[in-house]
Structure 1
């Protein structure tokens, strides 16, 4: 396992991050603990959870695991979505952030969170209020670093500028959806992160299971993609373009004697600007398959082939800017 600095910080994280959204749901507690043990045995140190995963159960399971190795764990969790039914039980107001961090610390059974992330932008709360509350948490020692997730590029840039102007702590990372079948952040977000040195820790690197290779062009009757709602739903994935990408992934897997999941993850590991893809697993077999994405390098010719077939179409203003790019 290799390590990379997370954004403009000195925090070293493993090249893969273990996501825990299934813990306490499709993955029972004993298998969840086993996955985390195997992950750390292979050199992983980065765990990602959220206060709303399985109504807090995911945080509780992670909290049990980290007790014996707290100092070596880079622990990430999130705040934003509704945790209570009253009007202040949602968002990133000062109140909800401070209430949320105390609840997460209790479930995680720890004194501090390494990376505290805003789960999604909150239009109801001024970003100055959110960042001041997060800055106070860093000053207090309850949080070490802050990050965000599911932002537009303008929202991230506004946040960074607000932090700089007010001398608040900065977001060091963003957690976006990104994979060979979801490359929307190529439009603006990825170049912004490179420019501002913001770490990128993508979620759904396998397209919600689409890139595992188990699906055909026939609508599935089992598995995660059977849902009709959310990003990882059959209507959002079942396009001819995505199936062309999947065919290329299958071809690469056969050529390199890897699995489709390993191909999709390894492509991300070699993508400039990507720090640590977040992978999840419902079973130990899936976990082991995903871990096979490390400790090898995809040939440049194969990587380029996948990059080209999955690239976004040429769009304005990118094609306009490229037309008039200076040669030096």
Structure 2
């Protein structure tokens, strides 16, 4: 296993981490993702640890807390061997204190997560979504208190706009509070919007990317292609409405390129898609998910080898799309590109 610094922090994380959204299987979305119970979760954790995957990512909304509970049971008696990342902020109920990132909500959410996980500290707490109703100073001050109390070790965010990340970092600097060190983001060969603004921001501000859904919400598994529609039994039939959108021709163009590289390398389509991500700037860890041991073993095979420059170029060309304004002219006009080649 390759280990990397999480952004500019001192925390070292494995290049591949394991997402536990498949643990619990409660509710229409998460039951479609997976239904692993404690026994199966423990087997998957065993496989991960054998491969050096020590970071496990969860969230309070995953199966209404059941994912955290099952993960806690699966790592019992080996807490010192793992890193736990969890997220909070999305609604856990209809009450006024059941959602968001207020001081009251964050403190209670952390206490609830610690209880479900069966631990006395969380290695990385991430705010699951931007809460426009809570002042950023209150949020960052509360994270500082939680770190000082030993409840959490590091803080990050997920699905955040760049301007809110920069605002949070500035507030932390002004008060001498710990800075955000991670941004959990959607990034894949069919979803490269992260590169336009959030990637340069991460490089500048020392944020390590933890990549979720590296296979494009299950569309880069090798089971879908130009002449292969979504197969029966695929979770996409139930969850596609929640998936980040992608144009059909773009999807097929990327799949064609992946299959061509697969034919050259003897690797699977998922392994190639994950390996491409592992070499992208600012990526600290790619979160893999698996409903069973076979899927997990295949995803673990994304490590230990490298794509050739020609193969990377082919995947880049197939997946490239123009970013939105104001980034577009830096790609289209030589004068703009000369001023800031880092955005090209």
Secondary structure of the residue that 1:78 maps to in structure 2?
strand
What residue ranges of structure 1 are gaps of 5+ in the alignment?
A: none
Q: Residue 229 of structure 1: CA displacement?
A: 5.1
Q: Residue 71 of structure 1: CA displacement?
A: 1.8
CA distance in 2, matches of 1:181, 1:244: 10
Q: Aligned residue for 1:226?
A: 237
Deviates more, 1:201-210 or 1:238-247: 238-247
Q: Aligned residue for 1:3?
A: 3
Q: How does 1:5-154 map to 2 (within 5 A)?
A: 5-25=5-25, 26=34, 27-154=36-163
Give aligned pairs, total.
326
CA distance in 2, matches of 1:86, 1:309: 46
Q: Residue 326 of structure 1: CA displacement?
A: 4.8
Q: Residue 157 of structure 1: CA displacement?
A: 1.1
Tell me if structure 1 keeps the 8 A contact 2:225–2:255: no
Tell me if structure 1 keeps the 8 A contact 2:223–2:230: no
Q: Residue 221 of structure 1: CA displacement?
A: 3.9
Deviates more, 1:84-93 or 1:252-261: 84-93
Across the aligned residues of Structure 1 and Structure 2, the Cα RMSD in angstroms comes to 1.7
Secondary structure of the residue that 1:242 maps to in structure 2?
helix
Q: Aligned residue for 2:29?
A: none
Deviates more, 1:291-300 or 1:81-90: 81-90
Q: Residue 2 of structure 1: CA displacement?
A: 0.4
Tell me if structure 2 keeps the 8 A contact 1:208–1:224: no
CA distance in 2, matches of 1:327, 1:9: 27
1:281 to 290, 302, 305: 290
Q: How does 1:280-319 map to 2 (within 5 A)?
A: 280-313=289-322, 316-319=325-328
C-alpha distance 250-122 of structure 1, shift in aligned 2 (>3 A): same
C-alpha distance 316-24 of structure 1, shift in aligned 2 (>3 A): closer
Secondary structure of the residue that 1:114 maps to in structure 2?
strand
Please list every run of at least 4 consecutive aligned residues from structure 1 whose deviation after the TM superposition is greater than 6 angstroms.
none
Q: Deviations over 1:217-265 (max 9, x none)?
A: 43544312213654427xx345111110011111111110000000000
2:223 to 197, 207, 214: 214
Q: How does 1:142-291 map to 2 (within 5 A)?
A: 142-217=151-226, 218-227=229-238, 230-232=241-243, 236-237=245-246, 239-291=248-300
Tell me if structure 1 keeps the 8 A contact 2:41–2:74: no
Tell me if structure 2 keeps the 8 A contact 1:115–1:146: yes
Q: Deviations over 1:81-101 (max 9, x none)?
A: 112321111101111101100
CA distance in 2, matches of 1:122, 1:205: 25
C-alpha distance 315-90 of structure 1, shift in aligned 2 (>3 A): closer
Deviates more, 1:300-309 or 1:26-35: 26-35
When normalised by structure 1's length, the TM-score is 0.95
Q: Deviations over 1:11-57 (max 9, x none)?
A: 00000010000012222322211111111111111110001111111
CA distance in 1, matches of 2:85, 2:74: 14
What residue ranges of structure 2 are gaps of 5+ in the alignment?
A: 26-33
Tell me if structure 1 keeps the 8 A contact 2:191–2:246: no
Q: Deviations over 1:132-158 (max 9, x none)?
A: 111100000010000100011111111
CA distance in 2, matches of 1:96, 1:48: 20
Tell me if structure 2 keeps the 8 A contact 1:80–1:120: yes
CA distance in 1, matches of 2:254, 2:116: 40
